[in-house]
Amino acid sequence: MSERNAEIYRKTAETDVHVAIGLDGTGISEIDTGIGFFDHMLTLFASHGRFDLTVKCDGDIEVDGHHSVEDIGITMGQAFHAALGEKRGITRYGSFYLPMDETLVLAALDISGRPFLVYDPGDTPMTPMIGGYDTELTEEFLRAFAFHAGITLHVKILYGTNSHHKVEAVFKALAHALRIAVEKDVRLGDMIPSTKGVL
């Protein structure tokens, strides 16, 4: 039975967020953010990462989606960090190229304890909205997640024209890179994968 699970509640004047994550799951998810396209992205994230994921958010989407998407990123990052614990035996690094029709995205990351984000959306501007989802919020989610998960994250949209494909490829690439990085390396045993002895 895996112990790499965590549950986090975060409540502000703008959002009420509940996240539960299991890193050694099968991709089962229960997602309700109030933003249909974002629900779709988090469902794909869970499925491709093989993470069991619950995300519930009651946010001020009558204003816009910014507070909800950012606060979900924060809470998911906190849950991911908590589920990893001391990070003993993990692969630590992960990278993945994700093709989706005409689009290609690279996600590369280090579960380093040193939060950082480099996000390159490519040369072709995205359409401002996909359904009720503001495409600018992709970067906000990635930043919130990376900084609260304690990971160094680089995401680059190498090329593509369809905004739906580009955002979806970002979430899928991130999921696959994380899946690789959290996998246990049997050669490490219970060691922490750093010459410093701590991550």
Mean pLDDT, rounded, for 84-110: 97
Whether 189 maps to a domain, the answer reads: no
Task: Say whether pLDDT at 145 is over 90.
Answer: yes
Average pLDDT over residues 89-107: 98
Rounded CA separation 133/164 (Å): 10
Would you say residue 195 lies in a domain?
A: no
Residue with tokens 């040369």: 123
Q: pLDDT at position 195, please?
A: 85
pLDDT of residue 2: 67
Residue 116 lies in a domain: yes
Across 89-114, average pLDDT:
98
**pLDDT tens for residues 150-171?**
999 999 999 999 999 999 999 9
Helix (H) or strand (E) holding 164: helix 163-182
197 falls within a domain: no
CATH of the domain at 121: 3.30.230.40
Q: Average per-residue pLDDT in the chain? A: 96
Residue 68 forms part of a structural domain: yes
Per-residue burial over 49-68, b if 16 or more Cβ lie within 10 Å, else e, is bbbbbbbbbebebeeebbbb
Report yes or no on 53 lying in a domain.
yes
pTM: 0.97
Is pLDDT of 65 > 90?
yes
Helices (H), the chain: 36-49, 66-84, 137-149, 163-182
Task: Tell me which H or E stretch contains 46.
Answer: helix 36-49
Report whether pLDDT(1) > 80: no
Q: pLDDT exceeding 90 applies to what percent of the chain?
A: 93
104 falls within a domain: yes
Query: Per-residue pLDDT averaged across 23-28, rounded?
Result: 98
Question: How many domains does the chain contain in total?
Answer: 1
User: Can you give the residue range of the structural domain that contains 57?
Assistant: 5-182
Domain membership flag for residue 159: yes
* 159 in Cβ contact with 92 (< 8 Å): no
